[in-house]
Chains A and B, each alone.
Chain A
């Protein structure tokens, strides 16, 4: 697929130990098309989050992206970016929503400040312009703009995650990586947030790399799914196909462990 937005080729990531290495991601390749939602499924520890981190080059030691790996975003070689280019690339091209809704915002900075630092770094805008943009973004996720003066602890978990999504939208990125964005939230809030993301995606046209262990959510939300098992991608294809006619044994077992799905959500 040459028109892919994100193209991952032969991605191999090790966690270096004192004597032996742990291979977290083993020769994984996949593509995400513009405007598409691509899901990574698999149990915890299978390497999904490691891939998510690699897309924004967020890993620190002892993680090591092996040579031969390739990540391209809109044709740009992500692994080849130097420090400055990388700082510029982050958030402008790829924004990210993290696992724990309660913990993604800096507890000691006002919401406004956490918008401002991203806007100033990337667009060099003034505080006034940043405030306008912040108000616009907060409205997008149904939070009253005047609350930008508040601190994170003054919001509920669902609201905090909506604020994070608003910060993601601030620079109109091409790709939003969502690493288990709703695990810490209750089911009603979960649904509400995913619907909101879906609407925003239709309006603004970004792609989503969606990571969860919740298969029900995944089938509903994603256009295509890749199934991971201990660092390897064992199967990928359209959600419908992965769900109805899984080829790999592991995928079949995954579905079997979620009996409520059969005929429920999709059927």
Chain B
């Protein structure tokens, strides 16, 4: 398990790197960083709260490294400051609430599009050159090359406003209070369909192309030819010999794709007015609520690192060559 341990250390370093960017950015900008970061609050912020905020973000009297350590220690103790716009709501509370919706949306969309994309890529590669392959590959290119913001807006226009099939905003009917009732869950599902389908549309094409390419590169391998020579059924050869091996590089590309996934979800949430991280961030950007903007980078990075770690674990489970040697 040395492999996984090394990955964890690496992710820790990456997280600190993101925090370091947060730390230096306001200090690199011209002018007074404290004034810049909390300017949007105007005079509404009580002096003692401003002092607390300055401490959280490392604006203490002392050399730079001391400021840096102060900032790091507040992050690792879970203190991301308070929102300037929604004062006195702590950033962690604000983002925590939003994170739940984003994880639900992004997690579901990623799983669906990964499964669907890998399947389509497998079939297209297995029958490459056929009409099916041409249709699948060309649609995949088109789907991946259209920006998420465009897909979202068009989907909202067509299915939300013109056809009126789906609601045009929020995660559930605002008249319903969150509860464990069928009506509430039905409302959540109804509100999630459009953003979910849009995200899947944005993401599936990429997985399809990756899987198709990986698979085509594997079809000439001796073990695939030998499987055919063994007289096994087409399906057995396609799934257990070709696709099962092509899945390994596809899974590792999933780790890189997660960045795109998060980016796509940000935009989709804004367009559908979905109360996840993206929308929270959008409101924060409009208000220049810097503690929230900085906090979301850390939360997003953490989410990305955790998902990367999950990908690493599944890679180890999928590849027997990594299991034994460690």
Taking CB atoms, residues of chain B closer than 8 Å to A147 are: none
Residue of B nearest to A177 (CB): B229
Taking CB atoms, residues of chain A closer than 8 Å to B236 are: 117, 121
B33-41, B59-67, B318-326: which one contacts chain A? B318-326
Interface residues of B in 122-142 (CB under 8 A from A): 129
Smallest beta-carbon distance B218→chain A, Å: 11
Interface residues of A in 105-128 (CB under 8 A from B): 105-109, 117-118, 121-122
A151 x B223 contact (CB < 8 A) = no
**Residue from A92, A122, A153, A164 within 8 A of B226 (CB atoms):** A164
Smallest beta-carbon distance A51→chain B, Å: 14
Taking CB atoms, residues of chain A closer than 8 Å to B320 are: 107-108, 151, 153
Residue of A nearest to B224 (CB): A106
CA distance A105 to B245 in the complex (A): 12
1/0 per residue, CB under 8 A from A, across B224-260: the answer is: 0111111111001000110011001000000000000
1/0 per residue, CB under 8 A from A, across B271-295: the answer is: 0000000000000000000000000
The verdict on A250 contacting chain B, using a C-beta distance below 8 Å, is no
Taking CB atoms, residues of chain B closer than 8 Å to A98 are: 222, 225-226
A6-14, A69-77, A83-91: which one contacts chain B? A83-91
Smallest beta-carbon distance A105→chain B, Å: 6
B230 x A118 contact (CB < 8 A) = yes
The verdict on A260 contacting chain B, using a C-beta distance below 8 Å, is no
Residue of B nearest to A164 (CB): B226
CA distance A98 to B223 in the complex (A): 9
Interface residues of B in 190-231 (CB under 8 A from A): 221-223, 225-231
The verdict on A245 contacting chain B, using a C-beta distance below 8 Å, is no
Residue of A nearest to B319 (CB): A108
Residue of A nearest to B241 (CB): A106
1/0 per residue, CB under 8 A from B, across A1-22: the answer is: 0000000000000000000000
Taking CB atoms, residues of chain B closer than 8 Å to A153 are: 320-321
The verdict on A139 contacting chain B, using a C-beta distance below 8 Å, is no
Interface residues of B in 292-326 (CB under 8 A from A): 318-321, 324
The verdict on A68 contacting chain B, using a C-beta distance below 8 Å, is no
Q: A98-B222, A108-B244, A109-B240 are in contact. Are A91 and B321 (CB under 8 A)?
A: no
CA distance A90 to B240 in the complex (A): 18
Most buried by A among B226, B232, B241, B318: B226
State the interface size on chain B (CB cutoff 8 A): 24
Query: Secondary structure of the B side of the interface?
Result: helix
Smallest beta-carbon distance A265→chain B, Å: 29
**Residue from A91, A96, A103 within 8 A of B223 (CB atoms):** A103
B231 x A89 contact (CB < 8 A) = yes
Taking CB atoms, residues of chain B closer than 8 Å to A154 are: 324
CA distance A2 to B223 in the complex (A): 35
Smallest beta-carbon distance A155→chain B, Å: 12
A91 x B245 contact (CB < 8 A) = no
Q: A153-B321, A154-B324 are in contact. Are A106 and B230 (CB under 8 A)?
A: no
CA distance A86 to B227 in the complex (A): 14
Most buried by A among B225, B227, B233, B236: B225
Residue of A nearest to B322 (CB): A153
Taking CB atoms, residues of chain B closer than 8 Å to A117 are: 230, 232, 236, 240
Taking CB atoms, residues of chain A closer than 8 Å to B231 are: 86-92, 118, 121-122
Interface residues of A in 160-206 (CB under 8 A from B): 164, 167
Taking CB atoms, residues of chain A closer than 8 Å to B324 are: 151, 154
Smallest beta-carbon distance B243→chain A, Å: 11
Smallest beta-carbon distance B251→chain A, Å: 12
B232 x A61 contact (CB < 8 A) = no
CA distance A153 to B324 in the complex (A): 10
A121 x B232 contact (CB < 8 A) = yes
Residue of A nearest to B245 (CB): A108
A103 x B222 contact (CB < 8 A) = yes
Interface residues of A in 200-259 (CB under 8 A from B): none
The verdict on A99 contacting chain B, using a C-beta distance below 8 Å, is yes
Taking CB atoms, residues of chain A closer than 8 Å to B232 are: 87, 117-118, 121
The verdict on A95 contacting chain B, using a C-beta distance below 8 Å, is yes
The verdict on A100 contacting chain B, using a C-beta distance below 8 Å, is yes
Taking CB atoms, residues of chain B closer than 8 Å to A167 are: 230
CA distance A94 to B231 in the complex (A): 10
A96 x B229 contact (CB < 8 A) = yes
List the 10 shortest-distance A-B pairs measured between CB atoms, nearest first.
A90-B231, A151-B320, A98-B222, A103-B222, A104-B222, A106-B223, A96-B229, A87-B231, A118-B230, A91-B231
A-B contact pairs, 26 of them (CB 8 A): A58-B225, A58-B228, A86-B231, A87-B231, A87-B232, A87-B233, A89-B231, A90-B228, A91-B229, A91-B230, A91-B231, A92-B231, A96-B226, A98-B222, A103-B222, A104-B223, A104-B226, A105-B226, A107-B320, A108-B248, A109-B244, A117-B236, A118-B232, A121-B233, A151-B324, A164-B226
B residues with a Cβ closer than 8 A to A are 129, 221-223, 225-233, 236, 240-241, 244-245, 248, 318-321, 324
A residues with a Cβ closer than 8 A to B are 56, 58, 61, 86-92, 94-96, 98-100, 103-109, 117-118, 121-122, 151, 153-154, 164, 167
Q: Kindly list 12 other residue pairs between chains A and B, CB separation below 8 angstroms, not including A98-B222, A107-B320, A121-B233.
A: A58-B228, A87-B233, A92-B231, A98-B225, A106-B241, A106-B244, A109-B240, A117-B230, A117-B240, A121-B231, A153-B320, A154-B324
